[in-house]
Structure 1
Amino acid sequence: MRTSGTTRLLRNAATAAASVALLAGSLALAAPARAATDTTGTTTGTTTGTAARPGEPAGFHPEQDHAGSTVARHEGRSSAAANTFTALAATQTPGLDVSSYQGNVAWSTAYANGARFAYVKATEGTTYTNPYFAQQYNGSYNVGMIRGAYHFALPNVSSGATQAAYFVSHGGGWSRDGRTLPPALDIEYNPYGATCYGLSQSSMVNWIRDFSNTVHTKTGRYPTIYTTTDWWTTCTGNNGSFGATNPLWIARYSSSVGTLPNGWSYQTIWQYADAGTFPGDQNRFNGAFDRIQALANG
């Protein structure tokens, strides 16, 4: 049967429309996920695309997560904090902490400027290891510093024991050589969502104890705990059961250390500023250099 010109035009138009729709669908499937940001510009997750891998929160950005990365946003900083280094007493020993954010660190320069100890981020969750860890961990040791490794905790993605085992297997070990600090747990505001990672206070305490006991079993040392008084109070109910076993590494960007979490009568390390003389964060050890050696030796 012969078709009219009008019929052929209608059929051609329908075919073209179908092709355009098919192409648009293909492009939509191929489009990468778009990162969502909060009002500070920090990546908070993805609005489309595949779900995060097991052990990773949505929008995983471990290169941005380090000891203190959430502190200033939640607690602010004092203008006096950056100048605290110049007023160090003889019984306070300066040091620093770094992560992949600092890349390759000029350790000889940091040592010449007075740093005598360093904590280096090793791991986060159970999927991330710091690609600069060897340069930072070994480099600080090679110039004469006492150094240790720390783990950035994600309590909502796996158990404390699981993360502790991953940490110890990827740089978080310890040896009694007088140059290695106890492994450290960085437990602070959640950079991916709810402040306390969706855990109740009792569940958070159990997670920290699980991590701590596993590190102790595997290394012979209880980990140093890095936190802030505000976070600890909010998320553990100001639990006082860790002070007898775990050294405290407190973060407060001010001219004084302030009130400490329950259970600790003094801090071992104070992270007093997130910028200053050294690369990364600025710290003071609460004692002379021989006391850092004593802590390293256990």
Structure 2
Amino acid sequence: MYTHDCHDLTAGRTLLQTRAGVPGMDVSSHQGNVNWRTAYNNGARFAYIKATEGTGYTNPYFSQQYVGSYRTGFIRGAYHFGRPDISNGATQATYFLKNGGRWSSDGRTLPGALDIEYNPSCGSSCTPAQKCYNLRKQELGKWIQDFVNTYRKGTGVYPVIYSTADWYNTCVGTYGDFSSVCPFWLACYCPRVTTYPYNWKVYTFWQYADSGTFPGDQNVFNGPYSQLQKLAKG
């Protein structure tokens, strides 16, 4: 995952024990085969695993990561890296659902997540327009809405939305209010959270560092373990 609007990585990596909530992680093909037992023994209790990107990529390590985390005792879910430059939101939600993104009410499977953020095609050299996939705010709002509606129709639950406050406010703004239906997964490598995208007032998950105690990115769930279980039950 990409996170560009955050600072103070050292604080993010050393304050795990002082952050309120349930510790967790997210991984992709970059982590390869994950030692889930070690991560669990170190305190992680949930994980998000990258399943898909756009309409032509699936994580080659998805099975080991998704099934392995479940068998070790994790509450886990899958995420899709959205590419509005490739196809519409409904098409990508369908691709996600067909390739690992489905949800079940077993109390161990989190709703699928949409990772919607900076355009990876140009990285740090993005122009302001490229940063937003050369789409207007209302077009990106419609793209997210189509993804959300399609995922909801296919699973019965709303997806989690992952983003940074900087990207979302710059590229989507007030076009589409998902705060009442979609849990928010905030990416911010900061000592504390002070800024949210439009109408969200609280985060459900907080990705606060790109490395640390667990493989992949470091996260925390904003609440007790019992509430995490409720989210997994829909």
SS in 2 for 1:140: helix
1:80 and 2:11 correspond: yes
Structure 2 residue aligned with 1:180: 109
Residue 260 in structure 1 maps to residue 189 in structure 2 = no
> Aligned pair 1:149/2:78, yes or no?
yes
* 1:192–1:77 distance in 2 versus 1, CA, 3 Å: farther
Distance (whole Å) between structure 2 residues aligned to residue 155 and residue 77 of structure 1: 30
Report the Cα distance in structure 2 between the residues aligned to 1:143 and 1:110, rounded to whole angstroms.
Answer: 10
Report the Cα distance in structure 2 between the residues aligned to 1:163 and 1:225, rounded to whole angstroms. 14
Q: Which runs of 4+ in 1 moved over 6 A?
A: none
How far has the Cα of 1:84 moved from its partner? 1.9
User: CA distance change for structure 1 residues 270 and 187 in 2, over 3 Å: closer, same or farther?
Assistant: same
User: Any unmatched runs of 5+ in structure 2?
Assistant: 123-129
For the pair shown, the structure with the greater C-alpha radius of gyration is 1
Candidates 25, 32, 42, aligned match of 1:113: 42
Deviations 1:225-269 (A, max 9, x none): 000101010000244610001000000001112211122121000
Residue pair 2:111, 2:159 contacting (<8 A) in 1 also: yes
- Determine which of 207, 213, 223 is the counterpart of 1:271: 207
Mapped partners of 2:198, 2:8: distance in 1:
22
TM-score (norm 1): 0.74
When the two structures are superposed, what TM-score results if normalisation uses the length of structure 2?
0.94
Distance apart, 1:219 and its partner CA: 0.8
2: CA distance, partners of 1:254 / 1:164: 30
Tell me the amino acid that sits aligned with residue 102 of structure 2. G
1:81 is displaced (CA, Å) by 1.2
Q: Which one-letter code corresponds to 1:219 in the other structure?
A: T
Residues 66-121 of structure 1: per-residue CA shift (max 9 Å, x gap) = x2x3x14x5444421111213133xx000000000000000000000000000000
Distance 1:104 1:257 in 2: 32
Alignment of 1:20-31 (within 5 A): none
Question: SS in structure 2 opposite 1:147?
Answer: strand
Name the amino acid aligned to 2:29: S
Structure 2 residue aligned with 1:53: none
- 2:131 alignment partner, SS class: coil
Question: What residue in structure 1 maps to residue 228 of structure 2?
Answer: 292
Q: Which of the residues 42, 45, 53 maps onto 1:124?
A: 53
Moved more, 157-166 or 234-243: 234-243
Distance in structure 2 (CA, Å) of the matches to 1:182 and 1:190: 24
CA 1:270/1:159 → structure 2, altered by over 3 Å: closer, same or farther?
Answer: same
Report the AA paired with residue 87 of structure 1: T
Give the Cα–Cα distance (whole angstroms) in 1 for the partners of residues 71 and 165 of structure 2.
Answer: 34
Structure 1 Cα separation of the partners of residues 142 and 65 of structure 2: 32
Please give the secondary structure, in 1, of the residue aligned with 2:15: helix
Residue 79 of structure 1: SS of its match in structure 2? Answer: helix
In structure 1, the gaps of 5 or more residues are 1-66
Q: Is the 8 A contact 1:125 1:163 kept in 2?
A: yes
Match of 2:28 in 1: 99
Task: Choose the corresponding residue for 1:138, options 67, 75, 86.
Answer: 67
* Equivalent position SS for 1:213: helix
Percent identity of equivalent pairs: 56
- The answer (yes or no) to whether the contact 1:79–1:254 under 8 Å persists in 2 is no
